[in-house]
């Protein structure tokens, strides 16, 4: 049985990836074809010609105006997936239609609905407005991960790994040493994990980008909306500084780290990452530094999770992981994901943390 929840919105691409060229990406095991119409709307349809299954994203298939022409025998489809012309006969079979996917472009992402289109409600797409807000500057990327998406969820929900896997980049001793608090909002479908370090070493990632010297107050507030959108609200400030009662926070630097965790297949994942900041907005050097540094950090995770995927796949069934307090958020996320996928959670009997 699949571990991938259906009837959910997933990030398929950055809006900037999709233009007037045919663009293909496999999302949750489904090959999908995207293009932008002449009026600028993103379309999403199955990437298989209904005739002999030739991928429409594959040359010599091509876009002509707002229609895609199959490169094998010329079946031609409109943006809604309906076939409008076939070779050698005037009559187009009624059933000649690509499967169209509900698609929404929002917050710099292209979201697709995987599941029953009748259930697709754009209001349910979680938001990350800073990614295309003029008040923030964002750097972003996408890394292929050869591991199941749940391993990335585990990884992102437990940031104590920063101290070990990302030492010298974003990890300092205080991350692993400071206890977390976890809250689960089952109605809203959100897992929150917070770690507030009030007197911590400033890792190079933040020292170089903010210019703060010396020790800092560092808050990490995770907000994960399963299955796809993960946000880390990161606050960096001089020690002793707290937000004002009205919510303003002039002494602090705010970084919104966003991941979209999109299964490609059961065992591979599209790891979208973005870092939005509310300071040094026009400073290209800061942008370059954060982009390069964050990509390095993401690749450290990718390397570790690629190894873990191989371990998990080759292990005999029944391995019992041992969970401790740091895993509380990850376990809550696993429960939600298992419910969404109609499964029982991995490690269900061992969920009491020790």
| Residue 120 contact among Fe ion, ligand FES, none, beta carbon within 5 to 8 Å by kind | none
* Residue 154 interacts with Fe ion (CB under 5 A): yes or no: no
Residue 70: CB minimum distance to ligand FES, A: 3
Site string for ligand FES, 77-106 (x = CB under 6 A): ------------------------------
* Part in contact with ligand FES (CB under 6 A); list of ranges 45-53, 106-114, 309-317, 328-336: 45-53
Count Cβ atoms below 10 Å from residue 38 Cβ, excluding itself: 10
Q: Toward Fe ion, which CB reaches closer, 46 or 220?
A: 220
Q: Toward ligand FES, which CB reaches closer, 88 or 317?
A: 88
> What torsion do the CA atoms of 9, 195, 210, 243 make, to the nearest 10 degrees?
100
Residue of the chain from 9, 10, 23, 75 that contacts ligand FES (CB under 6 A): 75
Q: What count of Cα atoms within 13 Å lies in the side-chain half-sphere of residue 50?
A: 20
* Residue 31 interacts with ligand FES (CB under 6 A): yes or no: no
Which residue bears the tokens 């390397």?
Answer: 303
* Residue 327 interacts with Fe ion (CB under 5 A): yes or no: no
Angle at 9 between CA 335 and CA 161, to 5 degrees: 50
Q: Toward ligand FES, which CB reaches closer, 72 or 289?
A: 72
* Residue 309 interacts with Fe ion (CB under 5 A): yes or no: no
> What torsion do the CA atoms of 99, 102, 106, 108 make, to the nearest 10 degrees?
-10
Task: Give backbone dihedrals phi and psi of 203, rounded to 5 degrees, phi first.
Answer: -70, 155
Residue 27: CB minimum distance to Fe ion, A: 23
| Residue 301 contact among ligand FES, Fe ion, none, beta carbon within 5 to 8 Å by kind | Fe ion
Dist. CA 122–CA 9, nearest whole Å: 8
Tokens of 90: 């005037």
Residue of the chain from 37, 72, 239, 267 that contacts ligand FES (CB under 6 A): 72
348: three-class secondary structure by DSSP: helix
Residue of the chain from 20, 52, 62, 127 that contacts ligand FES (CB under 6 A): 52
* Residue 289 interacts with ligand FES (CB under 6 A): yes or no: no
* Residue 70 interacts with ligand FES (CB under 6 A): yes or no: yes
Q: Toward ligand FES, which CB reaches closer, 49 or 337?
A: 49
Contact present, 26 and 87 (Cβ < 8 Å): no
Dist. CA 115–CA 101, nearest whole Å: 9
| Residue 51 contact among Fe ion, ligand FES, none, beta carbon within 5 to 8 Å by kind | ligand FES
Count Cβ atoms below 10 Å from residue 348 Cβ, excluding itself: 12
* Residue 74 interacts with ligand FES (CB under 6 A): yes or no: yes
Tokens of 233: 């609200």
Residue 71: CB minimum distance to Fe ion, A: 41
Q: Residue 196: name the closest of 183, 212, 184, 179 by CA.
A: 179
Preceding omega of 233 cis (within 30 degrees of 0):
no
* Residue 73 interacts with ligand FES (CB under 6 A): yes or no: yes
């Amino acid at each position: 049985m699949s571990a991938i929840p259906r009837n959910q919105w997933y990030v398929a691409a950055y809006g900037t990836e999709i233009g007037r060229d045919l663009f293909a990406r496999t999302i949750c095991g489904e090959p999908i074809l995207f293009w932008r119409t002449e009026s600028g709307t993103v379309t999403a349809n199955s990437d298989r010609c209904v005739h002999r299954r030739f991928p429409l994203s594959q040359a010599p298939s091509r876009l002509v105006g707002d229609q895609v022409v199959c490169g094998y025998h010329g079946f031609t489809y409109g943006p809604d997936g309906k076939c409008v012309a076939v070779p050698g006969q005037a009559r187009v079979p009624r059933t000649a239609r690509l499967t169209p996917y509900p698609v929404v472009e929002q917050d710099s992402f292209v979201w697709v609905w995987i599941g029953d289109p009748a259930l697709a409600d754009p209001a349910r797409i979680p938001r990350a407005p800073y990614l295309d807000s003029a008040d923030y500057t964002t750097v972003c990327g996408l890394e292929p991960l050869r591991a199941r998406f749940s391993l990335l969820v585990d990884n992102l929900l437990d940031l104590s790994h920063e101290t070990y896997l990302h030492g010298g980049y974003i990890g300092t001793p205080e991350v692993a040493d400071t206890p977390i608090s976890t809250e689960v909002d089952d109605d809203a479908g959100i897992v929150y994990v917070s770690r507030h370090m009030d007197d911590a070493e400033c890792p190079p990632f933040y020292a170089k980008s903010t210019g703060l010297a010396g020790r800092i107050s560092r808050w990490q507030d995770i907000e994960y909306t399963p299955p796809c959108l993960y946000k880390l609200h990161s606050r960096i400030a001089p020690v002793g500084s707290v937000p004002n009662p009205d919510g303003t926070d002039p002494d602090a630097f705010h970084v919104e780290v966003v991941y979209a965790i999109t299964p490609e297949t059961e065992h591979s994942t599209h790891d979208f990452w973005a870092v939005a900041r509310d300071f040094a907005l026009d400073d290209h050097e800061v942008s370059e530094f954060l982009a390069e540094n964050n990509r390095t950090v993401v690749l450290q995770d990718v390397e570790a999770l690629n190894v873990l995927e191989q371990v998990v796949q080759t292990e005999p069934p029944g391995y019992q992981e041992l969970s401790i307090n740091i895993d509380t958020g990850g376990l809550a996320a696993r429960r939600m994901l298992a419910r969404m996928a109609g499964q029982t959670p991995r490690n269900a009997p061992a969920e009491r943390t020790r």
